[in-house]
Structure 1
Amino acid sequence: MRIVVLGAGVIGVTSAYYLAKAGHEVTVLDRQPGPALETSFANAGEISPGYASPWAAPGIPQKAVKWLFMKHAPLIVRPTAHAATWKWMMAMLANCTSARYAVNKGRMVRLAEYSRDCLIALRQRTNIAYDQRAQGTLQVFRTQKQLDGIGKDVEVLKKDGVPYEVLDRAGCVAAEPGLAPNAGKIIGGLRLPHDETGDCFMFTNALATLCAEMGVTFRYGVEIRRLQMEAGKVTAVETATGPVTAEAFVVAMGSFTPAMLAPLGLDVPVYPVKGYSITVPIVDEARAPVSTIMDETYKVAITRLGSRIRVGGMAEIAGFNTDLPPARRGTLEHSVEDLFGGAGDQSRATFWTGMRPMTPDGTPVIGPTRYANLWLNAGHGTLGWTMSCGSSQLLADLMSGRKPEIESGDLALSRYH
């Protein structure tokens, strides 16, 4: 089957890979001059299935009020009059219940664990390299209240059979020796030993090269205008240089997915939640992190990527705003310096922002639409890198008429209707 994939981020490229592997003829279109140049470019670098959790959680509305007055707030809400913003926020708040959190986290962990297994298989099959490490993730808590609040997450981990360790301060330092000089600032942690790290940009580019060797066609610098319809099916993608036809179409455009599908009467609740990162060259190995550390207080991930430290986090609701406020950089610098002071050279750090395509329930939208030849793989939020391979293998199975290895019915767009 001839398939066109819209988007060349990590989701679009992994979609192309698994579809090509299934025997399909694939073309990928993207407006950028190469792969992974938007949200996939400089994310936090963590592959953390066990920490796959929706932002919509019990207590978040109350916490959000407190965060508004924090200097280093993990959530920033900029005033906006856009109806789509308020609609998405209200839908997110509706998911901030214990019952909804359990359902949403359960299916996110299911997909993320499967995705990790798919990535391991891909790596073994291709020997792809992307500054990867498999040394676990450590979530560190600065207060006893934070540590006491992990009960619901631990219940989900137990239910899904995800190995975990609850550590005291000494245990955290044993797992991440670079914490030793500042160990007094934490009281304990939750460690998932099977989690991984890696550079998403490097991975996506290397996989795009493998895709090209498999016969996938990449067309970069293409302005995608709209989908053309006829008799209830998509017939072509209209671009600035003319139509591109196929038998099936996959929309993997991240935060731009809703605008592409709205003219077809499809309401896809994906919103561009802005995130930030800095990439810091390491100057002191002994002080540097070994793998990924989640700083629970600031919702910041600190990840070792080769000779660099990637520090990413925050959620800013501000539409498609792409500015780089110094205050956001200050939060990232504060988190990493507070825990791993002196490990990196902040004067040579690079500062970046990207739009995370988030759904109100945290789970991506993967699968069919009401149009027989139009498929979705979007809305992965902060977990596109973590969920990319599993999402795309699942999509390829569905499009090829095969039964996926995990439950997929509750991942489709139909769950919102």
Structure 2
Amino acid sequence: MKVIVLGAGVVGTASAWYLRQAGHEVTVLERQPGPALETSFANGCQISVSHAEPWANPATLLKVLRSLGRQDAPLLFRPRGDPLQWRWCLQFVRECQPARVAANLSRIVAIADYSRRSLRALRAETGIEYDSLARGILHFYTDQQEFDRACRAAAAIRELGCPRVTIDADEVVRIEPALAAARARLVGGDFTASDESGDVYKFTSQLAAKGQAAGIRFRYNMTATRMLAEAGKVTGVEVIDGEGRHQALHTDTFVVALGSFSATLLAPLGVKLLVYPGKGYSATYPIISAAAAPTVSLTDDGHKLVLSRLGSRLRVAGTCELNGYSRALDTIRCEAVTRRVRELFPEACDYDRASYWAGLRPLTPSNVPYIGTTRYANLYLNTGHGTLGWTMACGSGRALADIVSGRRPEIELTSCGE
């Protein structure tokens, strides 16, 4: 069948790839001039099954409340007169119940593990190179309470088959010697040898190029403004092209992979998604001392930061700000990221040449994405992956292609709901 995929981030591009592999005629519409130029452009670059614990849990809720009013808080909530924000927040609180946390964790780990396996198969098939490192991901802790909670979380994740091993501070430094300067502050960590990292922008750009060579049509500078529906089916999508011209495009099937903008596009159809933007920051630093910079991908849970080596660069990303759809950089939050990295690795990078960026992660209250069908027979979703878009992209794209093709995915997915 003929399929239009809305969005050329890593999730949309992966969806298009697997749909094409399944034999469909695929067109991708993207408002930017190329693939992966928004949320997939400069994120933390981790493929992290071990970091699958949902943000909706009692500890996070307490941390948000404690940080109210702090401009540089890792988790920052800015109340707005936006009904979607408040509906999202109310459901987030509900998802913090222990039974729901456990169920969400199980769903997230299943998707993330399947996705990592799918990525490895795709990489072997295509030969895509994207500064990938398969050296595991190391979580480290400088706060005893955070570490104690992480030990419990690691045990829960191990029960789901993810080999996240709790280690002491000395083992943390043995695995990543660049943390030796911070040894006095470390209280412990955990390590998942099977996790990976890599440049998501490079991956998505190369996958789009290979997809185009395989027959996928990418139409850039095309902004979707409205979905058209009639008699229980979506009949078309209205778009504005790069020259400001309006047109309606029609096809058999539609897949929405627009991240944080999925909810606003679909709301007029009565498809009510709880997807809200969580603005994350990243900083990319030139490495000036290879020996002083980390080579293992790291997660600093206390400050909600991840660090990944990308060749001669160090990418540091994280924090979360619930404050609408603006991607404007906040100097105080940028400086807070650099201050923390400089404390940990004082000789590693040229911190005066930081390249800052902000992206809007599409968060669901549960951290479980929408993958699959809607109330419209020919409208499908692949959105709401939050901080795990890169981790889940290949698996969710592959599963979505199975659903569109009338096949049962290899993993069990919860219903999308409305």
- Bin the TM-score by the shorter chain: over 0.9
Alignment partner of 1:55 is 2:60: no
Contact 2:259 2:361 in 1 (8 A): yes
Structure 2: how far apart are the matches of 1:139 and 1:334?
19
2:399 & 2:345 partners in 1: Cα distance?
Answer: 39
Indicate whether 1:226 and 2:226 are aligned.
yes
1:341 aligns to 2:346 (yes or no): yes
1:230 deviates by: 2.1
2:115 match? 115
4+ aligned runs moved over 3 Å, structure 1: 69-72
Provide the rounded CA distance (Å) in 2 between the counterparts of 1:139 and 1:70. 25
- Percent pairwise identity: 46
Listed as ranges, the matches of 1:186-335 within 5 Å are 186-240=186-240, 241-335=246-340
Q: CA deviation at 1:54?
A: 1.3
Counterpart of 1:413?
416
CA distance in 1 between partners of 2:72 and 2:375 (Å): 43
Asked if the contact 1:300/1:335 (under 8 Å) is kept, the reply is: no
Shift of 1:59: 2.7
Q: Deviations over 1:232-281 (max 9, x none)?
A: 11111112342221110000000110111111111000001111000001
| Native 8 Å contact 2:151 2:166 kept in 1 | no
Q: Decide which moves more: 202-211 or 317-326.
A: 317-326
Q: Tell me, in whole angstroms, the C-alpha distance in 1 between the residues paired with 2:79 and 2:69.
A: 15
Letter in 2 for 1:76: L
2:166 paired residue number = 166
Unaligned runs of 5+ in 1: none
Tell me the number of residue pairs that the alignment of Structure 1 and Structure 2 aligns.
Answer: 413
Q: Secondary structure at the match of 1:221?
A: coil
Alpha-carbon distance in structure 2 between the residues aligned to 1:161 and 1:62: 28
Unaligned regions of 5+ residues in structure 2, if any? 241-245
Find the aligned partners of 2:233 and 2:152 in 1 and give their Cα distance.
Answer: 44
Q: Which amino acid aligns with 2:88?
A: W
Written as runs of structure 1 = structure 2, the 5 A alignment for 1:313-392 is 313-392=318-397
Q: For 1:42 and 1:223, how far apart are their aligned partners in 2? A: 21
Structure 1, 240-249 or 262-271: larger mean CA deviation: 240-249
Distance in 1 (alpha carbons) for counterparts of 2:154 and 2:280: 26
1:143 Cα deviation after fit: 1.9
CA distance in 2, matches of 1:332, 1:184: 21
2:100 aligned with 1:100? yes
SS at match of 2:260: helix
| Equivalent position SS for 1:228 | strand
Tell me if structure 2 keeps the 8 A contact 1:322–1:354: yes
RMSD of aligned Cα (Å) = 1.2
2:43 is aligned with 1:40: no
TM-score by length of structure 1 reads 0.97
SS for the counterpart of 1:294 is: strand
Aligned residue type for 1:172? V
